[in-house]
Structure 1
Amino acid sequence: MILKRLRDITTIGFALFAMFFGAGNLLLPPFIGLQIGNHVWITILAFGLTGILLPFLGILSVTNSGDSFDDLGHRINKNLAAILGSVIMICIGPLIALPRTAATTFEVGVLPSFPNSNPVWTSILFFSITWLFSIVPSKVVDLVGNILTPFLLFVLIILIGMGIANPIADLQLEMLSSQEAFTLGFIEGYQTLDVLASVIFAGIIISATKAKGYDSIAEKNKVVIASGALAAACLFFIYGGLIYLGATSNIENTDISRSALLIHISNSILGKYGTLAIAISIALACLTTAIALTTAVGTFFSKLTNGKLGYKLLVTASCLVSGVLSVTGVDNIIQFAYPPLAFVYPIVITLVLYIVIFGRFVKTKLPYILALIASTVIAALNVMKILGVLHADILAWFNHIPFFAYELGWVVPSFVFFVIGIIMESLSFRHSR
Structure 2
Amino acid sequence: MKKIRDIATIGFALFAMFFGAGNLLLPPFIGVQVGSHIWITIWAFGLTGILLPFLGILSVTHSGETFSDLGDRINKNLAKVLGTVIMICIGPLIALPRTAATTYEVAVLPSFPESNPMWTSLAFFAVTWLFAIVPSKVVDLVGNLLTPFLLVILTLLITAGMLYPPTSPSTHILTTTQSFTLGFTEGYQTLDVLASVIFAGIIISATKAKGYHSIREKNGVVIASGALAACCLFFIYGGLIYLGATAGIEDPSIKRSELLIHISHAILGPYGTLAIALSIALACLTTAIALTAAVGTFFSNLTKGRLKYTWLVTFSCLLSGVLSVTGVDNIIQFAYPPLAFVYPIVITLVLYVVFFGRWVKAKSPYVAALLASTVIATCNVLNILGVLGPRQLALLNHIPLFSHELGWAIPSFVAFCLVWSIQYLRTKSVTPHEND
If the TM-score is normalised by the length of the shorter chain, which range does it land in? Answer: over 0.9
Q: How does 1:278-289 map to 2 (within 5 A)?
A: 278-289=276-287
Single out whichever of 281-290 and 186-195 deviates more from structure 2.
281-290
Instruction: Give the distance between the partners of 1:142 and 1:110, measured in 2 at CA.
Output: 27
- 2:31 alignment partner in structure 1: 33
**How far 1:314 sits from its partner (Å)?**
2.7
Structure 2 counterpart of 1:147 = 145
Give the length in aligned residue pairs. Answer: 431
2:76 is matched with: 78
Bigger drift between 196-205 and 356-365 goes to: 196-205
- Residue deviations 1:224-245, cap 9 Å, x none? 2222111111100000000000
Contact kept, 8 Å, 1:145 with 1:288, in 2: the verdict is no
Select the residue among 166, 171, 174 that pairs with 2:172: 174
The amino acid across from 1:303 in the alignment is N
Give the structure-1-normalised TM-score.
0.94
Q: How far apart are 1:423 and its partner, in Å?
A: 1.8
* SS of residue paired to 1:64: helix
Aligned equivalent of 1:90:
88
- Matched to 1:320, the amino acid is L
The residue number in structure 2 matching 1:193 is 191
Superposed CA deviations along residues 294-317 of structure 1, whole A, max 9, x for unmatched, are: 232122212212233343443343
- The answer on 1:298 being equivalent to 2:301 is no
Distance 1:263 1:235 in 2: 21
Q: Could you tell me how far 1:272 is from its partner in structure 2?
A: 1.9
Paired residues of 1:133 and 1:291 also in contact (CA < 8 A) = yes
Amino acid at match of 2:70: L
Provide the rounded CA distance (Å) in 2 between the counterparts of 1:116 and 1:208. 42
Match of 2:409 among 384, 398, 411: 411
SS at match of 2:63: coil
Q: 1:146/1:217 Cα in 2 relative to 1: closer, same or farther (>3 Å)?
A: closer
1:315/1:214 CA distance change after superposition, 3 Å: closer
The answer to whether residue 52 in structure 2 is matched with residue 54 in structure 1 is yes
Q: CA deviation at 1:138?
A: 9.6
Cα distance change on mapping 1:363 and 1:340 into 2, 3 Å: same
* Displacement of 1:254: 1.5
Partner Cα distance (1:298, 1:59) in 2: 20
Q: Counterpart of 1:307 in 2: which secondary structure?
A: coil
Q: Which residue of 1 aligns with 2:434?
A: none
Q: CA deviation at 1:324?
A: 2.4
Contact 2:20 2:286 in 1 (8 A): no
SS of aligned partner of 1:38? coil
Shift in Å, 1:263: 0.6
In the alignment, is residue 111 of structure 1 matched against residue 109 of structure 2? Answer: yes
Q: What does 1:344-383 correspond to in 2, within 5 Å? A: 344-383=342-381
Gaps of 5+ in 2: 432-436
Task: After TM superposition, give the deviation of residue 205 of structure 1 in Å.
Answer: 1.9
Partner of 1:245: 243
Q: Distance in 2 between matches of 1:54 and 1:144?
A: 22
SS at structure 2 position matched to 1:271? helix
Give the alignment's Cα RMSD to 1 decimal.
2.0
Change (3 A) 1:137 1:196: closer
Please give the alpha-carbon distance, in whole angstroms, between the structure 2 residues aligned to 1:74 and 1:363: 12
1:227–1:311 Cα change, 3 Å: closer
User: CA distance change for structure 1 residues 297 and 359 in 2, over 3 Å: closer, same or farther?
Assistant: same
What is aligned with 1:326?
324
- Residue 215 of structure 2 corresponds to 217
Report the TM-score when normalising by structure 2: 0.93
Aligned-residue offset at 1:131: 4.1
The amino acid of 2:230's aligned partner reads: A
Distance 1:133 1:11 in 2: 17
- Say which SS state the counterpart of residue 64 (structure 2) adopts: coil
Residue in structure 2 matching 1:162, options 153, 160, 163: 160
Post-superposition shift, 1:259?
A: 0.6
**Superposed displacement of residue 97, structure 1:** 0.7
Within 2, Cα distance between the matches of 1:7 and 1:138?
A: 18
C-alpha distance in 1 between matches for 2:430 and 2:139: 58
Which runs of no fewer than 5 residues in structure 1 stay unpaired? none
Matched, 1:19 2:14: no
Query: What is the CA distance between 1:281 and its match in structure 2?
Result: 4.0
Q: What is the distance in 1 between the residues matched to 2:283 and 2:189? A: 18
Aligned partner (choices 228, 231, 235) of residue 230 of structure 1: 228
Q: Secondary structure at the match of 2:84?
A: helix
> Relative to 1, partners in 2 of residues 1:97 and 1:185: Cα closer, same or farther, differing over 3 Å?
same
Within the candidate set 124, 133, 136, 1:126 is matched to 124
2: CA distance, partners of 1:246 / 1:327: 26
User: Residues 60 and 377 from structure 1, CA distance in 2 versus in 1: closer, same or farther, beyond 3 angstroms?
Assistant: same
Say whether the 8 Å CA contact 1:347–1:376 is kept in structure 2.
yes
Identity of aligned residues (%): 74
